[in-house]
Structure 1
Amino acid sequence: MIRKILTVFLLITSATLLAQRTSSSPYSFFGIGEQYTPRTVENATMGGIGVSFNHYKYLNFTNPAANAFLRQTTYAIGFLNNDLTVKSADAKQSSTSTSLNYIALGVPIGSKAGFSVGLQPVSSVGYSLSNSEFDANGDISAITLYSGEGGVNRLYGSFGIKLTKEIALGIEADYSFGNIENSITNQRADVSLATKYKETSIVRGGTVTLGSQYQKFLKNDTYLNAGATFKLGNDLKTYGNEYLYSLTLSGAGIDIPRDTLSSSSTNGRYKMPLKSILGVSVGKYDKWHVGVEYQNQDAIQPEGFINNTNNSFKYESSNRVSLGGYYIPKVNSISSYWDRVTYRAGLRYENIGLAIDGSGSGTNYTSINDFGMSFGLGLPLKQLSNVNLGFEYGKRGTTTNNLVQENYFNFRLSLSLTASGAQSWFRKRKID
């Protein structure tokens, strides 16, 4: 019965993931939107580390080689609540968004291999901005509204296997898909009709990630881990339509189209370069773990209609450094529940690979950086294997160069239902 209920729940949450709006960031205006690095709540609360991390019951979206260490069938569902405050040099605005962050299933295969499948967001577009122009008398002469919605999701499947006692290799294939809509509406004073430019895009693409892990046990069951992944370069193809038309705005803010001024089909692509992640860690299973990792990717290259003459932004190389870990006072304690809790913490500093010219001259670009610090709790339960809570505070961007700074607080929640091995879930029950 529980498997039937879980199957229905996964179908419902899959539809929710595809339809949701997961971002309210002004920086989601650019390209395919605000991009996400796939990671579990457990990894996110350790500063995002994961390339050298493995565990017998925790999934790992960073390195497919970690599937080789999985020893329990695990269903994982993650949620994200984002409280965002955006401020410029003279204004401030807040917003909140809640979304399903991922659904995934991991299954061990024998004692040396495992696989995982799941659905996760790749990027999200969700912004609504306005700009007012004033005449010589200080009266509003024009208002321009910028809005966007949509995003890109991915279906993935990954496999990992131990070649030796110390070396594991993995491979992951994913398929990305989504829809994005951007629009610009301009209303001038003393003009009855407004004009609107709308662009709708369908995004498709796939890629392969190769991963490896090395694990060496030292004295007293302490281990030394090293990991590396290489996400191969790929193309995200995009095609759709763009329209320019006149309209009137109702009192409720609903568009009433009048005349189509122009329309055309569009197509282009984003060339995504090789992304590499390297990391090392030390620890002791179900006791403690500390790791550091570095991620790097060259600049994304847009081609086709998306490579226009707009000089307001450009892509550049991105990189990230993360440090984090966990600690469990006593995993099998019977006298104290809080001794069985997993305590996680981490730090992250990232150049997201986007540079913006707030002056509009095309000569004064400012790189957008992101700093976050996180803390998390892994709460063991009887029926569910565990509930993971994560808290992250961070800052992205700057108010210099006519830009905006984002201060955000992320609350993450994941539920993990586990069983000892694949057979306990998939074998046919018999009645004696």
Structure 2
Amino acid sequence: MKNTEVAARKNEAISRGVGMTTQIYAARAENSEVWDVEGNRYIDFAGGIAVLNTGHRHPKVIDAVKKQLDAFTHTCHQVMPYENYVALAERLNKLAPGDFAKKTIFATTGAEAVENAVKIARCATGRSAVIAFTGAFHGRTFMGMTLTGKVVPYKVGFGQMMGDVFHVPFPLEMHGISVEESMDVLDKLFKADVDPKRVAAIIIEPVQGEGGFYPVPRALMKGLRDVCDEHGILLIADEVQTGFARTGKLFAMEHYDVVPDLVTMAKSLAGGFPLSAVTGRAELMDAPGPGGLGGTYAGNPLAIAAAHAVLDVIEEENLIDRANQLGARLKQRLESLRAEVSQISDIRGPGFMVAVEFGQPGAVKPNADFTNAVRLKALEKGLILLTCGVYGNVVRFLAPITIQDQVFNEALDIIEASIRECAEEAKS
């Protein structure tokens, strides 16, 4: 079987709306390595877009799922509930930020978690408006893409977005937007467009994912908390991409002296199995009536079992410390290239949520062509990378935190060689 053969079949069978970063068709995977249908081996620095913090097929995760598979695979928790759903909610209630009583619900995708968080916020406050940020990504459902602060490709052709959603510029000092300006726009929004007493929630990613791996400045997060407290608005932390040790904390909000009212999570929660959650203040989570929340597949028992194993692995293998170590090594290697690669305009990210941004030589102006060239060069050398950012000029690194040292070193060499070669080619 050839990748090209499967690609031809894909073109005939699957909507072109499902975009694909590569035309490499996976056949098997183990930890940080993937083999395609032709037997070619790749190092995976995409991690299913931040889903595989514990790696492909972690033995503990696979064992937990096998045991659950031998018991039962589905009853629908709303029809016949099961204890491991309750136990996982108890664990997340203890682990999520905030020293107050919490409750949890489970869903299937990150977009569903966001949708449910908005539903809970609206029900608990009796308000309807929601504020998000430019560059944000919150999903592809209608509310999710309305909240998302990027038009192409997420909103193009889908008509009118949901009402009562407003966007504030995300502060990017290197691109000329300060925290003060963002907060000023928020203040003007309250004066010109929406009464703050009609705003149910402000939703923010502690580190923007699709938007470019930009961490939220501390001053902005504190400012948002103050505004929320002043006006009775709920603060929702979208931890779908940042959660579960990726940033060197279990949750990225732990980097701030700010506690959200609701937290959305998904991706690496269940090590590759579809599961998402909303955890928040108990009185808020109890606002919707019975039947107002849930879903047929929400909290599937196989995914719940996987999530228990993921939390065990994070603790037993010290993945929080590991994320900080790996991230430091990656940033150090990237920093070593700054002096000779004039296209590098920024290197950033907490823990192992690291990104490098490329600009025009010696300038901050985005350079998407160079960024994509680096991605393709690395792919030729057997390393899968992802780009991101509103301008498509950022390479984000999402390797499993469990990556083997020798494989990580190999990947670092490929990253360095790819950037160097692209820089040399740009000179010619």
Q: TM-score scaled by structure 2?
A: 0.25
Q: TM-score scaled by structure 1?
A: 0.25
Whose helix proportion is higher, 1 or 2? 2
Larger relative contact order (CA 8 Å, sep ≥ 6): 2
Q: Which has the larger radius of gyration?
A: 1
Whose strand proportion is higher, 1 or 2? 1
